[in-house]
Structure 1
Amino acid sequence: MEILLWLVPSVVLTGAAMLWVSWVSRDGRGEVDRDVAVERLGKALARDLPAGARRTAAPARDRSTGIAVRPSHAPGADGTTRRAS
């Protein structure tokens, strides 16, 4: 347990930094008028997306059973099947 004492300063410093950041950022946000927020949201929703950012429907995936199956024979170059002898 004594070997963990070297962690105490870093834990205390991290905790103090978290408390300081939460205290400092508490007053920095300010209040936004509800009507202004609704207007901004309406403008953002009405805007068209750039062509590259449009989402399309996801392609249908093949249903996989999770088992890899090899064909028992492969077609030859002329289209005929070739069997192992």
Structure 2
Amino acid sequence: MDILLWLVPPVVVTVLAMVLVTWLGRHGQREVDRDVAVQKLARALRKEHPGQRRPGPATSRPRDRSTGIAVRPSSRANDQAPRRTHGDDKRTA
């Protein structure tokens, strides 16, 4: 039990710091002015955002959502690539 006495000063300092921060933080809780908050929200909603669609030629095709994975178009979709046979499975370095 005597060996745990070295823990007492840090625990006391921690508890005192928690009480002090709690007491000082009480002054930060103030009433929010709802009229000002509603005006700020209305201003933010009226603001033009980058993701909004704009009329014009840029919106003729919907933008694809990026998934972060690069996908090559299939060459078989164009039927320009020769079809592989069973013997073509050999890989070279």
Normalising by structure 1, we get a TM-score of 0.49
Which of the two has greater strand per residue? 1
Determine which structure has the larger helix proportion and give its number: 2
TM-score of the two chains, using structure 2 as the length reference: 0.46
